[in-house]
Amino acid sequence: MKYTGSCHCGRVAFEVEGEIGTALACNCSICQRKGSLLWFVPRAELKLKTPEDAASTYTFNKHVIKHRFCPTCGIHPYGEGVDPKGNAMAAINVRCLEGIDLDTVKVHHFDGRSK
């Protein structure tokens, strides 16, 4: 299925292809503050509808995840990184997708604070 998503103001917009099985709620220092629900897809399935430089990037700790956010409205619609096998991945914030009933999304809680 194809989904469309964006930040609040629309400066960062995208499409993503796939099936949402579960979303991850992480309690690490940044995810807990953002309140995002993350759906992981191969990076190739994320198609930006706005220029890549419309989003700013924040990294911390080991600097392996690019937390992408809108510099205008501050919303974090996605992140970028690699899976354990080295494949490029995108972490889509399900809360930024159009037409999603969040009550139907199964949420897996991940203890990122202890990792």
CATH architecture type of domain 2-108: Beta Complex (2.170)
Distance CA 43, CA 47 (A): 8
Distance CA 93, CA 95 (A): 5
**Mean pLDDT estimate for the chain:** 95
Q: What is the pTM of this model?
A: 0.93
Tens digit of each residue's pLDDT (9 = 90 or more) over 6-62 = 999 999 999 999 999 999 999 988 989 999 999 999 999 999 999 999 999 999 888
Paired strand residues for 46:
16
- Residue ranges per domain, the chain? 2-108
Query: In the Cβ-directed half-sphere of 18, how many Cα atoms lie within 13 Å?
Result: 21
